Structure 1
Amino acid sequence: MPSSDRSPLAQPNWGVTLPLPGITIGHHQHIVERLPDIGYSDVWTAEGGGTDAFTPLAATAAWSPTLRLGTGIVPVFTRGPAVIAQTAATLAQLAPGRLLLGLGSSVPAHVSDINGIPFEEPFKRTRDVLRFVTRALRGEYIADEFETFSITGYRLPHPPTEPAKVILGALRPNMLRLAFGEGDGAITNLLFPEDVPKILQAVGPQPVGKEFVVKVFVCPTEDKYYARANARPFLAWILNREPYRKFHEWLGNGEVLREVHEAWEAADPAGSQKALPDEVVDGLFISGSPEECREQIMRYHLPGVTSIQLFVSLPPDAFYSQETVLDVLRRLGPAAL
């Protein structure tokens, strides 16, 4: 196990992904304002499903003076490098010292299929955008030839007065090493707790101050039929994206997912969902009572993990009121430990 700047028993940061599925962002203010009271330190976003990565964080900055703001992730293909830098700088002005800018390649379905942008050289593009944005956020003047784009001359007029961390969505060794070598750390997801040590071994010793964020998918209900039916379409779709397929092959999970991939390749998405073993569904999209879910979430609390990001898919009975939602989040999170 690689060394870490945190002791083995140190409490990680806990975060919630916004918007919570089923609640539009405009109805989150009370929830966000209460998150620090129930032990959460972070709010995270993901770009997809009809929501961009930055707007919910801008709202969060207005609603909370303390929560850290993390993007997990902003695709490096769908915005120009300078647009990413200036958007991040603007958000950092709203929340000085609280921004974790997560960048990543995303998947062709988000880049090409719905944006019409070629998905080419994802590692190189991510590396180049990381290098450009890191320099821009430091206030440097940049006129340079990167391998995947050229910048004729750019400087942020108002770089962040307090540093913003730039981390990468990373699944396999090359991206992980880039994330910790040139960035401020990594965010990873859709893995079993027993896979985390392999990720950390690929990283090697973590320098002080680096972030390692693990995103955990949770459906807090004891109705296993509902939870599995809720999770299967998403898992069958995402596990058949090339980056995640290669990720799980590297982790050693290729054989257990073989029939899932074969059905997908045969243009049978329903068959791909059906082929997902229950233990895979239950392991990658945790379910059970909030207390049972929390026990499983804590299996990701390993040395080197600095933050746990929850993607919480609430069951229908949790939408009775915002206080009901908050109670579920409280029972899932660190306040209940």
Structure 2
Amino acid sequence: MPLDDSGSRLRWGVTLPLPGLPLGAHRFVVEALPGLGYGDVWTAEGGGTDAFTPLAATAAWSDSLRIATGIVPVHTRGPAVLAQTAATLAQLAPGRVLLGLGASVPAHVTDINGIPFDEPYKRTRDVLRFVTRALRGEYVAGDFDTFSIAGYRLPEPPAAPVKVILGALRPGMLRLGFTEGDGAITNLLFPQDVPKVLAAVGPQPPGKELVVKVFVCPTEDRVYARRAARPFLAWILNREPYRKFHEWLGHGELLRDSHERWAAGDREGAQRALPDEVVDALFVSGSPEECRERILSYHLPGVTTVQLYVSATREILASPAALLDTLARLGPGA
């Protein structure tokens, strides 16, 4: 298994629940993951499954996997509720909880929750500061830039530390994650973009995390994979945070046609305007072995964890054996 620059092994994680498989049917997957070399189960939260319920189920089904959110929006839950939830999970999985927080996008905050997407950087910074102090058992009170706390202390702070990292796309949030948190998680970038992210992070103190989330559609039917990926990629790449992210990375011209069509209300045209090279790079496809080789291209010194989002094809979901075989061929034990 690959090593990072400190000699530590690269961690591998899988995002659950897998699309097309009900959460209650995931126990066999969770129980198999350690034997396949995976160390983490990750969740995300947007308009579907919440971030915490799958982690509670994972903690009940496994006594070894780390459970991690990647990410929970900072606007949609109060700071104390976030601290309480992380501390409660830590009772189920002591020393194995990683809380990933982030600004998310207005579509997940305002459009479906009716909450203003105000000052995302400051809100993320303030929630990070509150949650890290609360999880250490400190009494927290006073005014933050985006909220005020009359006074709060966790009745039972975690005995083992809970890491708190930030979803981060550009230098300000990346540096915040590493200076005031335990690191950052980034996604939807090309392998050749990783050095720019690492340069923005700067020297990484021991114990900090840089997680790269990689989207994977393990099928050799490239036409199917591109057709499945385009709606999601057109939607997410035309959200302002990701548009600015790719402009910073230097891909503005590559995506300009898609951006212009999206702004004009032509959603189908925005999908078609995404170059095949973008779709193939940001949503990896091919045989599991081909996908694994491309996943490993993200592993540069400083990257501590690869988080896989696996788009489960019909063939993969045909049987438990097929699903586990694909995860085995994709992952660290291959």
Question: So what's the TM-score if we normalise by structure 1?
Answer: 0.97
Map of 2:267 onto structure 1: 269
Q: Out of 151, 154, 175, which is 1:153 matched to?
A: 151
Deviation at 1:49, TM superposition (A): 3.9
Map of 2:310 onto structure 1: 312
The answer to whether the Cα contact below 8 Å between 1:47 and 1:73 also exists between their aligned partners in 2 is: yes
Tell me, in whole angstroms, the C-alpha distance in 1 between the residues paired with 2:317 and 2:171: 40
Range with bigger deviation, 312-321 or 211-220: 312-321
Q: Out of 172, 175, 178, which is 1:177 matched to?
A: 175
Secondary structure of 1:335 counterpart = coil
Tell me, in whole angstroms, the C-alpha distance in 2 between the residues paired with 1:9 and 1:227: 35
Tell me, in whole angstroms, the C-alpha distance in 1 between the residues paired with 2:256 and 2:142: 44
Map of 1:284 onto structure 2: 282
Map of 1:330 onto structure 2: 328
Deviation at 1:318, TM superposition (A): 1.0
The answer to whether the Cα contact below 8 Å between 2:47 and 2:108 also exists between their aligned partners in 1 is: no
Once the two structures are superposed, what CA deviation does each residue of 1:135-178 show, in whole Å capped at 9, x if it has no partner? Answer: 00000111111000000010100110000000000000000000
Map of 1:253 onto structure 2: 251
Map of 2:26 onto structure 1: 28
Secondary structure of 2:100 counterpart = strand
Once the two structures are superposed, what CA deviation does each residue of 1:37-78 show, in whole Å capped at 9, x if it has no partner? Answer: 000000000002410000000000000000001100000000
Tell me, in whole angstroms, the C-alpha distance in 2 between the residues paired with 1:165 and 1:144: 23
1:1-337 map, 5 Å? 6-7=4-5, 10-336=8-334
Secondary structure of 2:307 counterpart = strand
Secondary structure of 1:334 counterpart = coil
Deviation at 1:9, TM superposition (A): 6.5
Tell me, in whole angstroms, the C-alpha distance in 1 between the residues paired with 2:28 and 2:214: 23
Tell me, in whole angstroms, the C-alpha distance in 2 between the residues paired with 1:41 and 1:147: 37
1:17 maps to amino acid:
T
Tell me, in whole angstroms, the C-alpha distance in 2 between the residues paired with 1:207 and 1:150: 31
Tell me, in whole angstroms, the C-alpha distance in 2 between the residues paired with 1:295 and 1:11: 17
1:202 maps to amino acid:
A
1:246 maps to amino acid:
K
Aligned length: 332
The answer to whether the Cα contact below 8 Å between 1:8 and 1:302 also exists between their aligned partners in 2 is: no
Identical-pair percentage? 74
- CA 1:194–1:26 in structure 2 vs 1: closer, same or farther (change >3 Å)? same
Secondary structure of 1:100 counterpart = strand
Deviation at 1:126, TM superposition (A): 0.1
Tell me, in whole angstroms, the C-alpha distance in 2 between the residues paired with 1:58 and 1:309: 19
Which 5+ residue runs of structure 2 have no aligned equivalent?
none
Tell me, in whole angstroms, the C-alpha distance in 2 between the residues paired with 1:256 and 1:223: 24
- CA 1:331–1:6 in structure 2 vs 1: closer, same or farther (change >3 Å)? closer
Tell me, in whole angstroms, the C-alpha distance in 1 between the residues paired with 2:6 and 2:262: 41
2:127 maps to amino acid:
V
The answer to whether the Cα contact below 8 Å between 2:18 and 2:310 also exists between their aligned partners in 1 is: yes
Alignment root-mean-square deviation, CA: 1.0
Which 5+ residue runs of structure 1 have no aligned equivalent?
none
The answer to whether the Cα contact below 8 Å between 1:70 and 1:102 also exists between their aligned partners in 2 is: yes
Deviation at 1:11, TM superposition (A): 2.9
The answer to whether the Cα contact below 8 Å between 1:9 and 1:303 also exists between their aligned partners in 2 is: no
Tell me, in whole angstroms, the C-alpha distance in 2 between the residues paired with 1:49 and 1:299: 30
